[in-house]
Amino acid sequence: MRLAPVAAAIVLSVAACAPSSPSTPAQSQDKVTLSVWGWGPEENYDKMFAAYEKLNPGVDVDARSFTTATEYDTILSTGLAGDSGPDLAWLRAGANLQPLVEAGRLLPLETSDVPGLKDYDEGVLRSAKGDKDGKVYGVPFAVQTLQVIYNKKIFADHGITPPRTWDDMIAAAEKLKANKIVPFAFGGKDDWMLPIVASIFGTATWGGDTFLDDVKAKRKTFTDPAFVEGIDQLNKLKPYFPDDVAGVSYTDAQILFSSGKAAMFPGGLWELNFFAENAKGVELGVFTPPAPKGGQGMMPGFTDGSYGISAKTRHKAEALKFAAWLASKDYGQLFTDTLSIFSAVPGVKPTDPLLEEVSTTFDKQGATYFMNEFAYGNPSSQTVFSKSLQEMLLGRITAEQAAEQLDKSVATWL
Amino acid sequence: MALSTTRRGSSYLFLIPAFVLYSLFVVYPLFTGLTYSVFSWKGTLRDTFVGFANYAGLLTESFRDQLLPALGHNFLLFAGTMLVQNTLGLAFALALSRVRRGKRALQTMFALPYLVNPLVIGYLWTLLLSPTFGPVNSLLRGVGLEGLAMPWLGDPATALPTVIVITTWQWVGFPMLLFSAALGGIPQEYAEAARTDGATSWQVFRRITLPLLRPAMATITILSFIGSMNTFALVYALGGSNGAPAGATDVLGLLFYRAAFASGDVNALGTSSALAVFMFTFIFGSTLLLERVLRRRT
């Protein structure tokens, strides 16, 4: 009979866990709950959406955060296909958005419903469009830029300033190397980093968006000497990467930089958040590598993702109204201040000084990150080219051969 | 007579739960995978019947360039497992059969890594083998073996052999236990009789022990084959979904993962289902063949 209290406790706790829906029918009727799925820390969403709930007392925004990894795509496509999916969700940009668009899971957005969309930069908006129908399926939320992050103290200790010319940069790297500091913390083992780093050092050489447009219009191909020379910069910088660079993982590279063993980290703007958390003593600066042939460099960037509305939402009007707010400057400001990354909303100025500096540079010298535009196909050209760059860094193939492999892969779908 | 029929009838009744679960979780997914593979897909929406077009897609040049090396790596893993892991397993089992005290403890110790998830093992070894911070290379340098302080997982020449060594480290306890059990089943009298006739210990091993271990070897070979063909977690943890470095550790499992989840292709479901059906048919067929060959010889 000693089991009785235990059993009672179990019954009680089960009852407590059961959804308590029928208790407050009046309240749930006038209050609409919009569920939002995304990735990243959940408390950030709660913070941002609280502002909307304050403005719209009749709406309750319920954010659920999942992993950033590829599993999210599976979770989302399953959720949107069934009846238990979200009303709104973070969508991937470009190629990875297309399966949802073609399956008809998303609501196309019109500027009549979401007026903010018409102010967006075309390059930013393109990443939220269906490739075939050209309709907009999401409100872009973030722009990521790619550049070199550097440790201000190490630079000052060695009398180095952010380089104005390519030769300056090489001279600085030489100096650091002579002082037993790894110039660039970069790991080639996690191969998704390779096109990113190739674009940081090479975009100016192949000529940014003009070149990409030429490739898309089939006036040029990736075997073009300018592109080959661009990716060949990686080979030229190899002496300034960690030893056995193809065996160094992404995390190793982050640790090299955060522990002060390396002076520079070529990577995305999202690294700033990571280093602010994990390299508390390190004062961070950013610069764009100058063009090897003289002149200013280019800062590649891409739209990170967008807010889309499920075609199955039961609260279409409320969801569209929320989307309109997501495309507003109010939200953009809230987003950049909460997450310390760029908002995709046009005209939003970040308050963080470092971000503001990047923003100014990006306005002047911004370019499209080439890989996201060419990530189609199965196997995707991104996978193919990442592997080619890895082989190039290992010295098994030349820059020409790597470019040829990309060209061949792109030709299967372009 | 009547009684036994009822008994048999009621015994079938007891099979129902297992059969239902098996159908639900094995037969049904296999069948749906097969049906998925003959349609084209728009994301998770089934589009049109395309017959064998998805299978033909596996043979296009760009896909073939990844499929064939991946399959080759699966076979190399199998060969490596047979040569290194199973040979060591047999050696350990033989050595342990002579140990009088602490046999159980040693067996447990050898078998312990195989209770750990391969993902955990993979991450553990990437840390150990990291060329930048890894203790393995520091240790090698410390004892004057600089030449051996290599980026073990970062060089295409050493990556796959390293995977084989780590697989062995994890799984060697399994063939060891199977061989130990098989060795325990061989009556002592055979060896004693042979020794009385003047056989050396090598001859006893070669002529008596080894032939009697054949059924165990057949089992281990088949299980190793299936394991090597289906490997995923360890290689994923060691080299990521692209089989780094430069695809040197790419295997069918990773290729399937990329085709299904990482390509962003609208027809990813069709292509990956076709690949899955191909893998299943290939592994199932090869296993049947292997079994027939191995069983015939024993």
Residue B267 sits in a domain of what CATH number?
Answer: 1.10.3720.10
Q: Could you report the per-residue pLDDT of A81-133, keeping only the tens digit for each? A: 988 899 999 999 888 899 999 999 999 999 999 999 999 988 889 899 998 89
Domain residue ranges in chain A: 30-143+303-357, 144-302+366-411
Is there a cis peptide before residue B69, judged by omega within 30 degrees of 0? no
Per the CB < 8 Å rule, is A246 touching B150? no
CA atoms of A410 and A408, how far apart (whole Å): 6
Identity (one letter) of the amino acid at B104? R
Contact B152, B159 (CB under 8 A): yes
Binned at pLDDT 50, 70 and 90, residue B4 comes out as: low
- Among residues A50, A72, A71, which one has the least CA distance to residue A61? A50
**Do the domain assignments include residue B21?**
no
From 3.40.190.10, 3.30.428.10, 3.40.50.300, 3.40.47.10, which CATH number describes the A30-143+303-357 domain? 3.40.190.10
Residue A327 pLDDT greater than 50, yes or no = yes
Q: Is the pLDDT of residue A9 over 50?
A: no
- Name the percent of chain B lying above pLDDT 90: 66
Joined tokens for residue B234:
């360890």
Band of residue A222 on the pLDDT scale cut at 50, 70, 90: very high
Number of structural domains in chain B:
1
CATH number of A144-302+366-411: 3.40.190.10
Structure tokens at B138: 């520091």
- Residue B48 maps to a domain: no
| CA neighbor of A205 nearest in space, from A225, A183, A182, A184 | A225
Flag whether residue B151 sits within 8 Å of chain A, measured between CB atoms.
yes
Q: Is residue B224 part of a domain?
A: yes
Q: Which of A39, A80, A135, A310 is nearest to B43 (CA)?
A: A80
Q: Is B261 on the interface with A (CB under 8 A)?
A: yes
Structure tokens at A36: 């939002």
Domains A30-143+303-357 and A144-302+366-411 fall in the same CATH topology: yes
Q: Which of A221-235, A262-276, B204-218 has the highest mean pLDDT?
A: A221-235
Whole-angstrom Cα distance, residue A296 to residue B211? Answer: 75
Which of B221, B262, B227 lies closest to B243 in space, CA to CA? B262
pLDDT of B3 reads 53
Per DSSP, the three-state class of A385 is helix
Residue A387: closest CA among chain B residues belongs to which residue?
Answer: B246
Nearest CA in chain B to A182: B132
B77 part of a folded domain = yes
Cβ count near B233 (within 10 Å)? 15
Cβ pair B194, B258 in contact under 8 A = no
pLDDT tens-digit readout, B58-99: 998 888 989 999 999 999 999 999 999 999 999 999 999 888
User: Mean pLDDT throughout B164-191?
Assistant: 93
pLDDT at A210 exceeding the cut of 60:
yes
Tokens for A303? 């739209």
**Residue B1 is assigned to a structural domain of this protein:** no
Judged against a pLDDT cut of 80, whether residue A27 lies above it is answered with: no
Model confidence at A14: pLDDT above 50: no
What lies within 8 Å, CB to CB, of B49 at 6+ separation is: B38, B39
- Asked if the structure places residue B23 within a domain, the reply is no
Predicted confidence (pLDDT) per residue in B208-267, tens digit: 999 999 999 999 999 999 999 999 999 999 998 889 888 999 999 999 999 988 887 889
State which residues form the domain around B175: 53-297
The mean per-residue pLDDT over the stretch B101-107 comes to 88
Beta strands in chain B (DSSP E): 39-42, 45-49
What percent of chain B has pLDDT above 70? 97
ipTM of the assembly?
0.80
Confidence of residue B103 (pLDDT cuts 50, 70, 90): confident
| B155 shares contact with chain A (CB less than 8 Å) | yes
Considering only CB atoms, which chain A residues are within 8 Å of B258?
A: 379-380, 383
Q: Which has the higher per-residue pLDDT, A2 or A333?
A: A333
Is the pLDDT reported for residue A26 higher than 50? no
Q: Which amino acid is at A163?
A: P
pLDDT, residue A140, reads 95
Q: Is B42 inside any structural domain?
A: no
Interface of B with A in 214-233 (CB under 8 A): none
